[in-house]
Amino acid sequence: MKKLKEFSLSIFHLLTDRFSKLPVRDEEPLTHYIFVDEHINKTTHKAKHQLFKPRKNKGNDLSTFRIINCVESYIWYLSKRYVEPFSKKKTIARADFPLAAAKKAQLKINPDGNPHKRHLNLENWPTDSSACKLISMEIANASNLILKNE
């Protein structure tokens, strides 16, 4: 059964390669993976804004994945295959949000395709920490929390 699932994901990956070369659209959903409970508000069932702060030590950007037309299992596969090896932590949830929320905040959309063709960085965050916090709060407010079922 595991081999069949891996085969299905590899076929889906091949089919989506063509799509990920298309221009990014405002209505596209993005996802940002969650690895620690501290980024989840258990009361509101939402991602906390701290999750969406840019990575100061890695280019002042926020790493996301384009998930339009992806099935649930493939979205989780992207994290397991391309994100967990770098974070050295297991994914416990994810926060899906519209690309429009990032554009509204005037962040630069960079579909860099590294480490995967669906990878996209949100760049050009303000240097002012209050402005960064406001943007991260707006994205968190626009997001939907999806817990990983294992």
Domain ranges of the chain: 2-147
The per-residue pLDDT for range 88-125, each reduced to its tens digit, is 999 999 999 999 999 999 999 999 888 889 999 999 99
CA distance 83 to 59: 17
Whether residue 130 is predicted with pLDDT greater than 70 in this model: the reply is yes
80 secondary structure, DSSP code: I
Whether residue 150 is predicted with pLDDT greater than 60 in this model: the reply is yes
Average pLDDT, the chain: 88
Whether residue 77 is predicted with pLDDT greater than 80 in this model: the reply is yes
pTM: 0.85
The per-residue pLDDT for range 51-71, each reduced to its tens digit, is 999 987 667 899 999 999 999
